[in-house]
Amino acid sequence: MTAAHYTSMFRPNLFAGKVALITGGGTGIGRCIAHELASLGATVILAARREEPLQATVAEITADGGKADFRTMNIRDEENVDAVVAELVATYGRIDFLVNNAGGQFVCEAESIRPKGWRAVIDTNLNGTFWVTQSVFNRTMEKHGGAIVSIVAEMWNGFPGLSHTGAARAAVVNLTQSLGIEWASRGVRVNAVAPGGILSSGLANYPEPVQEMAAGWMRMNPSARLGTESEVSAATVFLLTPAAAYITGATIRVDGGSSLAKQPTWPLDPHDKMPAFQGFHRPDGAPEQFKK
């Protein structure tokens, strides 16, 4: 019996017999993805450092009739990652899907980020993603094939206030492109999903003033709203389906068009620190309103 309570756009039992590993699967977007994959018949294994959220989400999924398990894992520790993945492959035979959802960051202006903080964010969001991806490929997908989706972020126009995670997420996008080429001949598709402002429990991790500021600029997109965890999950699930068999190395933006919008997401104070260069001795005159 598969889970009956998640309203997925995909057909029931689509992933019957499949095994999916979701990092950061106990909370937020990862929890939602785990519920949807389980509702479609997959056996989902949730992995994160804290056991309590994993246990709670597994209990939810099994109560809905789904199949779920969990393992504690520190994605920054490549030896721990490989040991956990090896044990999962020994237990379940293979891993068909990997969703790299685990990550973390903190708001800080670039000049104030300390080396420890920078390394922690890069180690989690970039290195941790790579260690899990590499281990799953070497332990099972190189032989059996599979599909990988990494959750990144809407950082296309820079990520002021979060430059550390912006750099890491951009690197994962490039990694996705590289692996999409390298592993294609082994039947492994590698893609990413870039959420914009999403209503998720992860927002509670930020200080209240940051939450208030973010709530305003997150809505400054063509959709005029924040997204839902379900919308991110649907894009992720699509990339795991056979319908996405011709898609690899791609990143789907689930951001309500915010990556196309031009409104600043960081306070811009008036200043005169960047004077214009004008070398043309016969410049065309611009309308007066543009000179202000």
Comparing C-alpha atoms, which of 87, 86, 6, 81 is closest to residue 48?
81
| pLDDT given for residue 1 in this prediction | 43
| pLDDT given for residue 3 in this prediction | 40
Q: Is the pTM of this model over 0.85?
A: yes
| pLDDT given for residue 62 in this prediction | 96
* CB 50 within 8 Å of CB 27: no
| pLDDT given for residue 99 in this prediction | 98
| pLDDT given for residue 74 in this prediction | 97
| pLDDT given for residue 78 in this prediction | 98
Domains of the chain, by residue range, sit at 19-258
Residue 7, judged by CB atoms within 10 A of its CB (0-12, 13-18, 19+), counts as: exposed
Q: What angle do CA 210, 215, 218 make, to 5 degrees?
A: 110
The C-alpha atoms of residue 197 and residue 207 are separated, in whole angstroms, by 16
The C-alpha atoms of residue 61 and residue 49 are separated, in whole angstroms, by 19
* CB 99 within 8 Å of CB 21: yes
| pLDDT given for residue 275 in this prediction | 75
Residue 26 token pair:
């106990």
* CB 278 within 8 Å of CB 244: no
CATH of 19-258, one of 3.40.50.720, 3.40.50.1860, 3.40.309.10, 3.40.1360.10: 3.40.50.720
| pLDDT given for residue 48 in this prediction | 97
| pLDDT given for residue 217 in this prediction | 67
Sequential pLDDT tens for the chain (292 residues): 444 589 999 999 999 999 999 999 999 999 999 999 999 999 999 999 999 999 999 999 999 999 999 999 999 999 999 999 999 999 999 999 999 999 998 888 999 999 999 999 999 999 999 999 999 999 999 999 999 999 999 999 898 889 999 999 999 999 999 999 999 999 999 999 999 988 877 766 667 776 676 666 667 788 888 888 999 999 999 999 999 999 999 999 999 898 988 777 777 778 778 676 565 555 566 555 444 5
